[in-house]
Amino acid sequence: MKYKRILLKLSGESLMGKKQYGIDENRLGEYAAQIKEIHDLGVQTGIVIGGGNIFRGLSGASKGFDRVKGDQMGMLATVINSLALSSTLGSLGVKNRVLTAVRMEPIGEFYNKWRAIEVLEAGEVAIFSAGTGNPFFTTDTGSSLRGIEIEADVMLKGTRVDGIYTADPEKDPTAVKFSDITYDEIYTRGLKVMDLTATTMCKENNLPIIVFDMDTVGNLRKVVEGQPVGTLVHN
């Protein structure tokens, strides 16, 4: 195994699968099976899931919601997704624990770094929900923060695209994929990989990111084994 401890970031949108809204049980099942596969290999796995399949704070703000309340609604959306993943992992026999950045026992344990590492070292999957607990921060920033806190070897950003391209490959057929790229080059090229706060945190704390296609079953295992899947972002 190339990576012993990872932070896996999953997008809420991709949980929709073929649906227009909410959670596609088939997609959730595929994700859980892939997570079980690496967990069985002994990889310590922390997970952050977005909430965009249920509610996005930013789009709420554009429709007249107070930004702070909108972001709090988004945080709660990530908790719903985290519970869904927790339940599905549990049905596959994978022990896991939901930790929340906002107090909401008995839904989840209140997050702190040492408890999170204890959970990982006990062989459980740790699911970190409610973002950072603060408005104006995305779940990408939440992932960077948790990845740094739990001292992960790498942050894996599972998306529906198989890496980082010179342009959006869904819109520009001439877009070329990077096998690896530096944080600075992401800035200078203005690439939308994660928001700037998240990218800066990873850069300053030397946490490498691999952007890969999570929707292709088997890719997660390939990434943790160090196979050339996706795009590596590094200093």
Judge whether 139 and 51 are in contact, CB under 8 Å. Answer: yes
Q: How confident is the model at residue 209 (pLDDT cuts 50, 70, 90)?
A: very high
| Tokens standing for residue 229 | 């899947």
Cα-based distances in Å from 226 to 185, 208, 229:
23, 13, 8
**Domains (range + CATH), the chain:** 1-160 (3.40.1160.10), 161-191+221-235 (no CATH)
| Residue range 126-136: mean pLDDT, rounded | 97
Across residues 154-158, what is the average pLDDT?
A: 97
pLDDT value of position 181: 97
- pLDDT in the model for residue 59: 75
Predicted confidence (pLDDT) per residue in 76-97, tens digit: 999 999 999 999 999 999 999 9
Average pLDDT on 22-26 reads 97
Q: Does pLDDT of 188 surpass 90?
A: yes
Spatial CA neighbour of 103 closest among 122, 67, 129: 129
Tell me which residue of 80, 61, 62, 100 sits closest to 21, measured CA to CA: 80
Distance CA 167, CA 201 (A): 23
Predicted local confidence at residue 168, as pLDDT:
86
Tell me what the mean pLDDT of segment 107-112 comes to.
Answer: 98
Give the per-residue pLDDT at 64: 82
Average pLDDT on 132-139 reads 96
pLDDT in tens, 27-76: 999 999 999 999 999 999 999 999 999 998 777 677 888 999 999 999 99
Q: Tell me what the pLDDT averaged over the chain comes to.
A: 95
Q: Is the pLDDT of residue 170 over 80?
A: yes
Helix (H) or strand (E) holding 88: helix 67-91
- CA 52 to CA 71: how far, in whole Å? 11
Across the chain, the runs of DSSP E, i.e. the strands, are 5-10, 44-49, 96-100, 109-110, 125-129, 154-159, 180-182, 209-213, 231-234
Tell which wins on pLDDT, 202 or 61.
202
Report d(CA 97, CA 121) in Å as an integer.
Answer: 12
Higher pLDDT, 63 or 215: 215
Cα 42 from Cα 122, distance rounded (Å): 11
Residues in Cβ contact with 128 at an 8 Å cutoff, skipping those fewer than 6 apart:
46, 47, 48, 82, 99, 101, 111, 116, 142, 146
Query: Given a cut of 90, is residue 7 above it in pLDDT?
Result: yes
What pLDDT is attached to residue 65? 81
Strand order in the sheet with 125-129: 109-110, 96-100, 125-129, 44-49, 5-10, 154-159, 209-213, 231-234, 180-182
The rounded percent of the chain whose pLDDT value lies above 70 is 100
Q: 71 φ, ψ to 5°? A: -65, -35
